[in-house]
Chains A and B, each alone.
Chain A
């Protein structure tokens, strides 16, 4: 359904007077999503996760340039096509109620999404009612302002916005942080349901555990690139290919609980060779001259020249 290859996103900024600076935040990013599956995109902040979502929706700021190819249902996603598709075929489930208009009742906002999908007013109202019922939202919740709804209700309202649209691809951006564990499970189940209905779902998160609870496949992002794409089982079976993914896995509390040493390189000073080279325990001379290409190893994709060792 969605296939992203070699995506790059570059911001041009003016710093001190008129000197232009190019800041490449995403380099060689790849992702593949099929209908009916949940793909988790995992990475630390600054790894380009949210920007990927904005790039797919075509809502990056004006000073951003996009390179590489994005295909949606086989057709390239041009800016014009993005504009047609966003909110209709491709929907975003944002992070928090902060993404709702603070002065508009939530029911009205969900209804607006339905109307933007071409439903007439009355049909949109019924669609909102149906969706709210589906997610156990009481009818009076529709008349609440965003500041009045609780964290769990807010999550369900936000998912509702994607459900009233007929979106085939749903992108959930960090839907779980700061939530009660029950609500996390509930939210993830909602995403799973969307995939079971035949939609493609991208779950963007920094929380590997949450990702593994629901995802079919996990894409691990590092410094704006795809380090590895593995199936969810690979984590439990120890079939991980990239040293960064392995380090992330070990850093979980139920595993060794050792944090990954060092920091992500800043986009202003990216290494010439492998982006992970300054933190990698397996690093050799061969890693330095150029960026490793994404290649298939043991049923997954990985961007590391020593992955099959």
Chain B
């Protein structure tokens, strides 16, 4: 592969990312200024009653709250750029540290859910597409439409009631058994606690991957090149193996990378239902308890995360599809 177009691609993407983050900053700052949360009150907390109005003025002045909005924005933005994202009030730790720790916990959940949804979605989509119009196809489509239209938290609750409460197969909450020190949690206990949340989260992605794959496979099966393959004596299985998978994998992969945003959004609800201590749950806590610095941090982080997913989706085309990779270069 040539280096130059890839470098060009990345510099273009980086510029776009910078613009996106600036836009997010402006928007976030605007919303923050409009919100009813008073920074001084939020900072001082319960001791608010014990300080006088004059003292309050003094704090506000020292923080620059009396300055015009533009000045305040530049001050704030300068700090963000330098990596000072403030301290989370809920966790009493620097915001970046909270996000880092929490995201690592969420990452396992996201990764498992992502792989599961991709694989299951692909298998279901291929089955439905290959047997278009049969009861297999209809069953899979019904399943996909039902999943696509039911709210995540509701599915999460149903699964929790069924597997954890009725069958007692899976733990009811958290990332580890209660009362066990973090370093004593075994790998299996860990996996056991991950299983149901990851499964629930994967359900979000399955439907869209399955339906898209099905449609793409049907298009492929009706294409001229599959007609020619049939004329060469290729069987349905041979066609799937040699032409089907090759041609549906790329769109499926792209969609799968693009679905990272939905996955991230879904993790907020799923982690809340399963009390799984990841970034999603931290988001809910930050929102409920007006932890503005943490919320702002999460906003930036999720913008970055989603953007990365979409960039990977674009990149997968550049790397995998020979029509784009080799481009207009014709062999002699």
Contact = CB atoms under 8 A, between A and B. Distances in A.
Interface stretch (B8-16, B147-155, B229-237): B229-237
Interface string B225-268: 10111111110001000110011001000000000000000000
A87 B232 contact: yes
A240 B234 CA distance: 42
Contact of B234 (A99, A116, A150): A116
Contact of A101 (B247, B329, B330): B247
B233 A88 contact: yes
A181 interface: no
A99 B233 contact: no
A11 interface: no
A87 B233 contact: yes
Interface stretch (B195-203, B297-305, B320-328): B320-328
B232 A98 contact: no
Contacts of A100: 225, 228
Contacts, number: 76
Interface in B286-331: 321-323, 326, 329-331
A98 B228 CA distance: 10
B47 interface: no
A149 interface: yes
A145 B323 CA distance: 8
A68 B62 CA distance: 97
Nearest to B321: A103
Contacts of A138: 332
A68 to B, nearest CB: 21
Interface string A107-146: 0000011001000000000000000000000101101110
A296 interface: no
A150 B225 contact: no
A116 B332 CA distance: 29
B79 to A, nearest CB: 49
Contact of A98 (B224, B230, B321, B332): B224
B224 A102 contact: no
Contact of A140 (B225, B233, B238, B331): B331
B243 to A, nearest CB: 5
A194 B251 CA distance: 40
A140 B332 CA distance: 9
B331 A144 contact: yes
Given A104-B242, A144-B331, A87 B326 contact: no
A147 interface: yes
B225 A99 contact: yes
A142 B181 CA distance: 61
A92 B321 CA distance: 28
A113 B229 CA distance: 9
Nearest to B244: A101
B187 to A, nearest CB: 40
B331 A141 contact: yes
Interface residues on B, range: 20 to 34
A101 B326 contact: no
Given A101-B247, A104-B243, A145-B326, A86 B231 contact: yes
A148 interface: yes
A148 B326 contact: yes
Interface in B199-224: 224
B226 to A, nearest CB: 8
A87 B225 contact: no
A161 B225 CA distance: 13
A13 B251 CA distance: 32
Contacts of B250: 103
B330 A59 contact: no
B224 A94 contact: yes
Given A138-B332, A141-B331, A148-B331, A101 B234 contact: no
Contacts of B232: 86-87, 91-92, 112-113, 116, 161, 165
A59 B235 CA distance: 12
B331 A101 contact: no
Nearest to A158: B228
Given A99-B224, A145-B322, A87 B330 contact: no
B136 to A, nearest CB: 17
B331 A94 contact: no
A67 B329 CA distance: 48
B87 to A, nearest CB: 52
29 contacts: A57-B231, A59-B227, A59-B230, A83-B233, A87-B231, A87-B233, A87-B234, A88-B233, A91-B231, A98-B224, A99-B228, A100-B225, A101-B225, A101-B229, A102-B247, A103-B246, A103-B321, A104-B246, A112-B232, A112-B234, A112-B242, A116-B234, A138-B332, A140-B331, A141-B331, A148-B326, A148-B331, A150-B330, A161-B232
Q: Top 6 A-B pairs ranked by shortest CB distance?
A: A87-B233, A87-B232, A99-B228, A92-B231, A99-B224, A101-B225
Interface of B: 224-225, 227-234, 238, 242-243, 246-247, 250, 321-323, 326, 329-332
Given A88-B233, A143-B331, 10 more contacts: A86-B231, A87-B233, A101-B225, A101-B246, A103-B250, A104-B246, A112-B232, A116-B234, A149-B331, A165-B232
